[in-house]
Structure 1
Amino acid sequence: MTPTSTPTSAPVPVPPENWLLLDRQICFSLHAASRAFNGVYRVILKELGLTYPQYLVMLVLWEHGDLPVKRLGEHLRLDSGTLSPLLKRLESAGLVRRERSARDERSVEIRLTEEGSALRERALQVPRRIVSATGFRLDEISELRERLDQLTSALDAAALEEDPGNR
């Protein structure tokens, strides 16, 4: 139940003067949750020698194998300018190799090293620890992720409507 509803009635509309209150902003709730997640991930991933963005890169590579930087960026919703420093650090750590594509010199392929592939086994404990940190049941996490995916799709569509030149 929300603070603006009762068990027997529909939600009471929020008056316009309250629309700009910080605690009414879904974007802030998502931002605060994201920062809290990052704090938990920071501690857990330290044991693996990874930052959260590096962990996301590794997840994609463990799932999909070798990928061009462009495709990796598509999976992560990141541009190559953001990915490049991440990939350099992962390469310095010996977890990935960056190689020019034999098929297209302009394209850089990202490949897991043996050490990068082996890290996957140690990373298997991360999701369990995150689930535990949330205090949610697996079905609740699944439902939340589905709703967030729906929200992301709706916002992507709305952004295209707002700025059709940004396709």
Structure 2
Amino acid sequence: MHSPTVCNLTDIKRILRYLSGTSTHDIQLYKVAHLQLKAFSDSDWVGRPTTRRLTIGFCVFLRSNLISWSSKKQPTVSHSSTEAEYRALASTIAEITWLRTLCFTPEKKHIAIDYHFVLEKVLLGDLLVQHVPTTKQLAVDFTKPLFTVKFLPAISNLCLLLPAKIEGG
């Protein structure tokens, strides 16, 4: 970066604290009988006052196993929270579609703008889009900064294991 700001330094510190505090965490995987995907998506519209760019995030589960996740700041500004949510949802559906071709029978690829991409999948019955309240939204962990009080429950919700404490040091 050629001209870092205080905001950049804050972000870097947050990332370093996160990495140092989670480097020993593991992901718990369970044996599954059925291949059923479940996904959560979220967006943080205008989450950064300085850039007004949104962050989208999602997490995908194979039954109770977290198998895919993403958090990404978008390169452009969205005009509304609805547009931001559609971007997050389209990104999630693209990931689900890819995972389904990997795990299940291949599907045809479609090129469409986000709204029509989502609408087509819903009309085909490939997915059911439901509102999830923020308090039960697992993907919110990928779009907004989490402080310790919210981070620890998030670990449990994503089926991550905390490392066992080592006795004597």
Q: TM class by shorter-chain length? A: under 0.3
Q: TM-score, normalised by structure 2?
A: 0.24
- Which structure is larger by alpha-carbon Rg, 1 or 2? 1
Q: Which has the higher contact order (CA 8 A, sep 6+)?
A: 2
Q: TM-score, normalised by structure 1?
A: 0.24
Higher strand share: 2
